Amino acid sequence: MRRIGLLGGMSWHSSIEYYTKINDAVAKQLGGHHSAQILLDSCDFADIRELQEANDWAGNDASLVATAQRLVDGGAEAVAIATNLMHKCAPAIEVSVDAPLIHMVDSIATMAKRQGYSTLAVLGTRWTMLEDFYTGRLEAQGIKTLVPDEATCLEVDQIIWDELTQGVFTDNSRARYVEIMNDLKDRGADAVALSCTEIGLLVPRRPLPYPRSTPSTRTSLRSWSG
């Protein structure tokens, strides 16, 4: 079995789900006492968040490249970013680190096509919804994307940072997210990409089917690891 390097801690709530689900997939497929060979480098998210708020993405690029390199130096044969938003730094990792990056968006696109979805609603941070590093990569693979209007994107983003990434999950926010998903369904979405792992923890039952980012990436990582 090949060793996977996970860039984690962004937030640690999502890292737990990645670690658990990848091991769960390995155990189910191989049985017995098998588990995944994983190296996890978990950052202090406050450092990453400070750079995000300063719009210093060059700083975040440098931080994640250094993390990925540590994982490779430690024996990882491929790396994966255990969070959606920080795939904004994926190009820097891909050109700087001598190991493949298992890209979350590619995993989601593959699963969406396999399940017959052609139009994905995308919910995540404002960068994920309003910039093209995420939706553009889906579109390039033949998946149409829909996002809320800008004001709603900012509302979704605020709930993520003020609540979800700090482990706070409220009924009011859950109801609002379901309302937003229903609106995107009415606009033509046939599935929703929960492009922030913590959204799946907030809204376990949704009005749209979903090729969720963590299970999609988990499947790709399991297939890659052998």
pLDDT in tens, 115-147: 899 999 999 999 999 999 999 999 999 999 999
Mean pLDDT taken over the chain = 91
Number of domains in the chain: 2
Query: Cα(172)–Cα(155) distance, rounded to whole angstroms?
Result: 13
Instruction: Please check whether residues 59 and 127 belong to one and the same domain.
Output: no
Instruction: Please check whether residues 78 and 28 belong to one and the same domain.
Output: yes
Query: Cα(220)–Cα(216) distance, rounded to whole angstroms?
Result: 7
Active site residue 153: no
Instruction: Please check whether residues 114 and 206 belong to one and the same domain.
Output: yes
pLDDT score recorded for residue 169: 95
Query: Cα(57)–Cα(113) distance, rounded to whole angstroms?
Result: 31
Q: Using a cut of 0.75, tell me whether the model's pTM lies above it.
A: yes
Name the residue range of residue 114's domain. Answer: 105-213
Query: Cα(64)–Cα(192) distance, rounded to whole angstroms?
Result: 27
- Which of 68-80 are b and which e, b meaning 16 or more Cβ less than 10 Å from the residue's Cβ? bbbbbeeebbbbb
Query: Cα(225)–Cα(37) distance, rounded to whole angstroms?
Result: 8
Instruction: Determine the distance from the C-alpha atom of residue 173 to the mean position of all C-alpha atoms in its chain, rounded to a whole number.
Output: 20
Instruction: Please check whether residues 25 and 116 belong to one and the same domain.
Output: no
Instruction: Please check whether residues 9 and 22 belong to one and the same domain.
Output: yes
Active site residue 89: no
Instruction: Please check whether residues 148 and 95 belong to one and the same domain.
Output: no
Instruction: Please check whether residues 206 and 128 belong to one and the same domain.
Output: yes
User: 69-73, 100-104, 212-216: lowest mean pLDDT where?
Assistant: 212-216
Judged against a pLDDT cut of 80, whether residue 224 lies above it is answered with no
Judged against a pLDDT cut of 60, whether residue 226 lies above it is answered with no
Annotated active-site residue in 43, 67, 83, 219: 83
CATH at 202? 3.40.50.1860
Residue whose C-alpha is closest to residue 51's, from 41, 62, 40: 62
Summarised one tens digit per residue, pLDDT across range 97-115 is 999 999 989 989 988 998 8
Annotated active-site residue in 196, 197, 217, 219: 196
